[in-house]
Each structure stands twice: as C-alpha cells, then as structure tokens.
Amino acid sequence: MKLAGLVLVLALALPTIEAANARTIRAEYSVKVRGFLVGRAEFHADISGERYVLRFSGRAGGIGRIFSNAATTASVTGKLGVDRLLPADYSHAWIEDGETETVAMRFSGRAVTAISLDPAPEHPERYVPLTAETNADALDLVSAFLWPVERATETTCNRKFPLVDGRRRFDIALTFARLDNFATRDGSFASPVAVCTIHYRSVAGHRIGKPDHSILNAKDSEVWMAPLGEGLAFPARIRLQSRVGRIMLEAQSISSK
C-alpha cells in the first residue's frame, strides 16, 4: 500500500448539496514525516439528511516537493448508517510523474459490487484475489473518515472497518487508548477526543507468500477522533509508525456549519 495513497488525497469536483438541513464540514491537514512537512490535504463533507458527498484532497508540499510531484483525487457519495457510512459510488486517481492510476468502485448495501482499475494489475495470479466473499462487507477509505459518534468516550473506539481501496481488502480494528484534548493551531476548533490504537489485518490483494509491509502493520499507530456535534466525528490527527519514521496527519483548521 502506497504511503501517499493513505495520507494524501485530492478531491474530484462535485457539487455542494443545497438543502435547508444541509451541513458542510471542512478540515485542512498538514502531512509530516519525522517532523518535516511533506504534503497538505483537505477533507470536505456535504451532508443533507442521510445523504453525503465526501471529497478528500491533497498533494506533495514542503520538503516533499523535492522528492515527488504526487497528487491524488478521491470522492464518494452515499448515505449515513447507524454504525458507519454506507457508500454508493467511489472514485480516485493517483497522479505522479505524468502517470495516472484510477480506481472506481460501486457499492450496494455494505458490499462492493464492481471495481474498475486502470491500469489493470500486472500478474494478478501473484496476489490473493478480491472476491465476492472478501467484498461482501467493505468500506472505502474516504467514507471511513466520518463516524456516527455522539461524543468522545471509551466506546468510541470499539469498532472495526473492513476497508477496500480497489486493489486491497484489509481490516482496521480499533481499541481504546485514552481520552485527550485537541485544538487546532489557528484556534478554529477545540474538543475532547478519543484516542484509538490502530490494528491492521490484510484480507486480500497482498502478495501470496510474502509478508505484508503496510505501514499500518507498525505498532503505536493512533487516530484521534473528534466529535463535531449532531452525531458525527472525524480524525483530528492520525499518527502512523513506519520504516521511514513517524507519519503525522494533523488538522490545522476545522469548520462546521
């Protein structure tokens, strides 16, 4: 799994939902590796009733521009569920050095029903295949950013996300670590947070007979979940341990209206 594919996502242009009970959430993030700024990202959610449109955007920045001009775009539509979001249509594109990779997925209920990849995987026989069984319960990476949560408590972290990025299916199980407080540097947001420890398990899409070197395999990886009110929470900070050092995705500015 690409490091940048997890922490840098750029949005596709989608219309804002216009309705009397619509709500908009926006968060701007910095992305750092070993304390050095390597990129920036933005999460944008438009919610109207049970419907949602999510966009998550980012590109290489800071010292990261020296090594890469990478950018990725992602968007998803769906509806809010009781314990998680229920996506309908998802797409993303990864652009680097003039080359583009795209993924499109269609969901029905809690299952992935169609996946389109361009370019197609090389030597697919070398990888554990994604099947109807592995995809019967799955969630895209962007929809996993918004949780149906009332407030930060010890029970906030008691959940597991069956994630799919088009090429891989993996589980992220979360356990409670502690309660803490979070505030953006610009003073736009402050809230109690539930800090959850991340536990990774590969299900499909990994190389057959080879160890999975995902950065999520490392210990001491955490997500800080901040309630936004009205039954929703999102990551204010994500900390991942990797072979190149600590990776930090942290909200710098947050607005909700």
pLDDT tens for 146-197 read 999 989 999 999 999 999 999 999 999 999 999 999 999 999 999 999 999 9
Q: Which residue has the tokens 């929470």?
A: 233
Provide the domain count of the chain: 1
pLDDT of 143 over the 80 cut: yes
| CB 159 within 8 Å of CB 84 | yes
Report CA torsion sign: 213, 159, 226, 90.
Answer: positive
Tokens of 188: 């736009």
| CB 28 within 8 Å of CB 252 | yes
Q: What is the mean pLDDT of residues 5-25?
A: 47
pLDDT at 240: 87
Q: What is the mean pLDDT of residues 105-111?
A: 96
Residue 151 CA, chain-centre distance (Å), reads: 20
Residue partners of 173: CB distance under 8 A and separation at least 6: 159, 160, 198, 199, 201
pLDDT at 216: 58
- Between 98 and 28, the higher pLDDT residue: 28
The DSSP bridge partners found for residue 174 are 159, 198
pLDDT at 158: 92
Q: Which residue has the tokens 């050092």?
A: 245
DSSP-assigned letter for residue 127? B
- Reduced to 3 states (helix: H, G, I; strand: E, B; else coil), residue 46 is strand
- CA–CA dist 154, 203 (Å, integer): 27
pLDDT at 213: 62
Q: pTM for this one?
A: 0.85
Looking at the chain, the whole-number percentage of residues with pLDDT higher than 90 is 61
Tokens of 252: 């710098």
pLDDT at 67: 45
Q: Half-sphere exposure of 183 toward its Cβ, with a 13 Å CA cutoff?
A: 4
| CB 67 within 8 Å of CB 61 | no
Residue range of the domain that includes 125: 3-256
The total of other beta-carbon atoms located within 10 Å of residue 255's CB is 12
- Between 233 and 15, the higher pLDDT residue: 233
